[in-house]
Amino acid sequence: MNSLIAAAKQFARDEDGITAIEYGLIAATMATAVLAAFGLLGPALKTAFETIANQIKGTP
């Protein structure tokens, strides 16, 4: 019985799994932010690159 209680206490103190979950949540949040930014800025970036490409080609 004592070993079961000791194992439960050690499991409660173990923070390795919590850290991995936190890093996973941070990565998911960053990926969502990047995808949202590209979704919002996509048309503006496309226009900017097309303008630059046309200027390089010399077409008006």
User: pLDDT tens for residues 51-60?
Assistant: 999 999 986 6
Is 60:54 a contact under the CB 8 Å cutoff? yes
With respect to residue 6, please indicate whether it lies within any of the assigned structural domains. Answer: no
pLDDT of amino acid 60: 62
In sequence order, the 6+-apart residues with CB closer than 8 A to the CB of 54 are 60
| φ, ψ of residue 59 in degrees (nearest 5) | -90, 145
What's the total number of domains in the chain?
Answer: 1
pLDDT of amino acid 59: 67
With respect to residue 39, please indicate whether it lies within any of the assigned structural domains. Answer: yes
With respect to residue 5, please indicate whether it lies within any of the assigned structural domains. Answer: no
pLDDT of amino acid 30: 97
With respect to residue 10, please indicate whether it lies within any of the assigned structural domains. Answer: no
pLDDT single digits (tens) 12-49 = 777 666 777 888 899 999 999 999 998 999 999 999 99
Entry pTM: 0.51
